[in-house]
Chain A
Amino acid sequence: MATVQERVVAVTARVLQLDPSEIKPEYTFTVDLGAESVQSVELVAMFEEEFGIEMDEDAALAVTNVGDAVAFITKVCQEQGVEV
C-alpha cells in the first residue's frame, strides 16, 4: 500500500498537472508548485476524497507545503479512525 506521502504527492501531481518526481516535501503549493487559489480548494477536496476524511477548510488551507500536508492528513486520519 502506498504511504501517505506517496498518495499526497500523487494527488498533488494530478491536480496541478505535474510529474510526481517534481514534488518535494519542502515545496510550497503556491510558490514552488504554482497552485492558483482555486487549485488550493481542489487540493483540499481531492485529499479528502483520496483519504476518505473531512478536513476543516480553514486549518487545511493554512498548510503551506507538501511535508506539512502529509503530517496534517496523517493526524486527521488518526482522529477520524482512517487507517493509512
Chain B
Amino acid sequence: MRLILVDRLTEKRFHFYPLALSRPVWELRCGMTSLLDKLLDRLFDRLETFEVAYFVPPYMADAYRESTSRSVNDPASLRGDDLLVVDARVKAAGFDVEPAGPSQVAVDADGEVLYAQIARADLEKLNTESIDALLDSAKGLLPSAEGSVPVWSYTWDLILANPEQLVADFAAAGRCGVEGTVEEPVAIRGSKKDVYVAPGALIHPMVVLDAAAGPIYIDEDVEIHPFTRVEGPCYVGKKSILLGAKCREGNSIGPMCRIGGEVEESIIHGYSNKYHDGFLGHAYVGEWVNLGALTTNSDLKNDYSTVSVTLDGKQPVDTGSTKVGALIGDHAKTSIGTLFNTGAYIGAMALIAATGKPLPKHIPSFAWFLEGVVTKGFGKGKLYETARTAMGRRGREWTEAQEAMWNEVFNMTKPVRSEAVKRGRRLLAAGKFAH
C-alpha cells in the first residue's frame, strides 16, 4: 500500500498561513511531533509496511524535496499500488480508516476530498495523470465513505490542542527517568514518572521541573540554565537552550531554539530565538525567527471576549477562543521592545522595528515595519542575506530551491503587502507634512 499525503493550494490552506507559506501543512507541529509524524504513527498501528509519497503546492516542491528522501509531486506514485490518499488537514487522532478496506472517498462540506481509499484494481478506471485529476475522478466514480473525518481548520487549533497533545505524546513515547545529567540541586515536583531527561541533556543547578500538572520531556542535548522553571506538560526539542526561562504549561519548543523570558502554551519551530525577557503566550512561531529583548504578545483581551485573527489583512476571523497570541512566520525578526496585539499575524520574513505601542494586528510577509508603518524597506534581497547569515551560523544552507520558493511566496503575498505599503506611505506623508 502507498500513503499519498496531499496538500493542495486551496482556500483552506490559507488558514494555516503564515506558517504554511513555506512548508506543507503536515509539517506543522502539535505536541511533541509534527502532524505528519502523527499520521504515520496512526497508520503504523495498522500496517507494518507502506510507502509514502507527497503532493505539495508546486512552488515549494523543490525546496521540500531537499528535506525528504520520499517522492514529491511525482505522478508515477499514483500508479501501481493500493492507495490511501489523505489530505494534509486530516487529524491523525480519530482517523480510523482501515487501510485494506474497499475503495471509497470522503469529502468535506465543500466537496474537497479528505481521504480516498483506492484499490489498485480501481486505479485503471481513474485519471492518474495528476493528483488533482485523480481526486476529481475518484470523487466522481468511487462510493462515498460514511462517517465524519476530523480535520485541523486553523493554526490556532494546534495551539489550543497543544497541552492535551503533549500529554498524549509523552504517554506514547513511553519514556521516563533521567538519562542525561542533572546537577543538584534541581527540584522535581510531581511524579518522577512524568519527567524524562534524554541522553546528553544537561540540567544546571537551581532548575525546577514541575510535572505536577503534566509531563515534561527534555530531549537530547538540551541545556537548561539556572533559575529556569519548566511546567508540564512541556516538550523541549533537541539541542535547545533555556536561559533562566519561565516555561509555563503547554509549550513545544525546538529543536535548536534559545528561549528565555516567559513562554506559555506556545509552539516554537526549530532554530528560533527568544533569548531575552518578554512574554510569549498561545503563540505559534515558525523557524529562524528572532524575537528581540522584551518582545511581548498579548494573548487575552481586556474584556475577555474571543480573539480574532486577520489572516488576509482585511477580514478578522473569530477564533472562538479567549486565548490566542501571535502567529509568527518563518524568518520574522523583531526589535527590542516589540509589542504584539492579541491574535497578531506576523508574516514570514517580516522585519519589525518597535514603536512603543502595540503593533497593527496584521503585518504582511516581507514587510519592513519601520517608523510605525509598513514599508518596502530594503527589499527582499537584504532579508535573504540575513536569512543566509542566520542559517550559516547554525550550519544550515540557504539553497537555490529555498530562494526560488521564497520568491514565489514574495509574489503570492504582494497584493496584501502593496495595500499595506500604500497605507503606510499615506500615513508617513501625513506625518511629514504635519511637521
Choose, from B25-33, B168-176, B377-385, B395-403, the stretch at the interface: B377-385
Instruction: Report the Cα distance A37→B379, complex, angstroms.
Output: 13
Task: Report if A45 contacts B (CB, 8 A).
Answer: yes
Q: Are A57 and B371 in contact (CB under 8 A)?
A: no
B429: chain A residues at CB < 8 Å are: 45-46, 49-50
Q: A residues 29-47 with Cβ under 8 Å of B?
A: 37-38, 41-42, 44-46
Task: Report if B428 contacts A (CB, 8 A).
Answer: yes
Identify B425's interface contact among A14, A45, A61, CB under 8 A. A45
Tell whether A46 pairs with B428 under 8 Å between CB atoms, given A38-B370, A38-B371.
yes
Q: B residues 406-435 with Cβ under 8 Å of A?
A: 418, 421, 424-426, 428-429, 432-433, 435
Q: Are A49 and B426 in contact (CB under 8 A)?
A: yes
Closest partner residue, chain B, to A17 (CB atom) = B435
Q: Are A45 and B379 in contact (CB under 8 A)?
A: no
Minimum C-beta distance from B212 to chain A (A): 48
Task: Report if A79 contacts B (CB, 8 A).
Answer: no
Minimum C-beta distance from B425 to chain A (A): 5
Q: Are A41 and B375 in contact (CB under 8 A)?
A: yes
Minimum C-beta distance from A41 to chain B (A): 5
Which of A17, A38, A45, A58 gathers the greatest number of chain B CB atoms within 10 Å? A45
Instruction: Report the Cα distance A15→B435, complex, angstroms.
Output: 10
Which of B376, B418, B435 gathers the greatest number of chain A CB atoms within 10 Å? B376
Closest partner residue, chain A, to B418 (CB atom) = A54
Give the interface size bracket for A toward B: 10 to 19
Q: Are B376 and A45 in contact (CB under 8 A)?
A: yes
Contact with A along B323-366 (1 / 0, CB 8 A): 00000000000000000000000000000010000000000000
Instruction: Report the Cα distance A46→B428, complex, angstroms.
Output: 8
Instruction: Report the Cα distance A71→B426, complex, angstroms.
Output: 24
Task: Report if A48 contacts B (CB, 8 A).
Answer: yes
Q: Are B378 and A45 in contact (CB under 8 A)?
A: no
Which of A14, A38, A41, A44 gathers the greatest number of chain B CB atoms within 10 Å? A41
Identify A41's interface contact among B368, B418, B426, B435, CB under 8 A. B368
Instruction: Report the Cα distance A35→B292, complex, angstroms.
Output: 25
Minimum C-beta distance from A84 to chain B (A): 18
Minimum C-beta distance from A78 to chain B (A): 21
A49: chain B residues at CB < 8 Å are: 425-426, 428-429
Instruction: Report the Cα distance A44→B429, complex, angstroms.
Output: 11
Instruction: Report the Cα distance A46→B429, complex, angstroms.
Output: 6
B368: chain A residues at CB < 8 Å are: 41
Identify A46's interface contact among B353, B370, B432, B435, CB under 8 A. B432
Q: Are B433 and A42 in contact (CB under 8 A)?
A: no
Instruction: Report the Cα distance A56→B368, complex, angstroms.
Output: 14
Q: Are A14 and B433 in contact (CB under 8 A)?
A: yes
A56: chain B residues at CB < 8 Å are: 379
Instruction: Report the Cα distance A22→B378, complex, angstroms.
Output: 26
Instruction: Report the Cα distance A46→B378, complex, angstroms.
Output: 15
Q: Are A57 and B378 in contact (CB under 8 A)?
A: yes
Q: Are B378 and A14 in contact (CB under 8 A)?
A: no
Q: A residues 48-82 with Cβ under 8 Å of B?
A: 48-50, 54, 56-58, 61
Q: Ordered nearest first, which 10 A-B pairs have the shortest CB separation? A: A57-B379, A57-B376, A49-B425, A49-B429, A58-B379, A45-B425, A14-B432, A41-B375, A38-B370, A41-B377
> A45-B428, A49-B428, A61-B379 provided; 18 other pairs, C-beta below 8 A?
A15-B432, A38-B353, A38-B370, A41-B370, A41-B375, A42-B375, A42-B428, A42-B432, A44-B375, A44-B376, A45-B424, A45-B425, A48-B425, A49-B425, A54-B418, A56-B379, A57-B377, A61-B378
Task: List chain B positions with a Cβ less than 8 A from chain A.
Answer: 353, 368, 370-371, 375-379, 381, 418, 421, 424-426, 428-429, 432-433, 435
14 contacting pairs across A/B (C-beta < 8 A): A14-B435, A15-B432, A17-B435, A41-B376, A41-B378, A42-B370, A42-B371, A42-B375, A44-B375, A46-B425, A50-B429, A57-B376, A58-B379, A61-B379
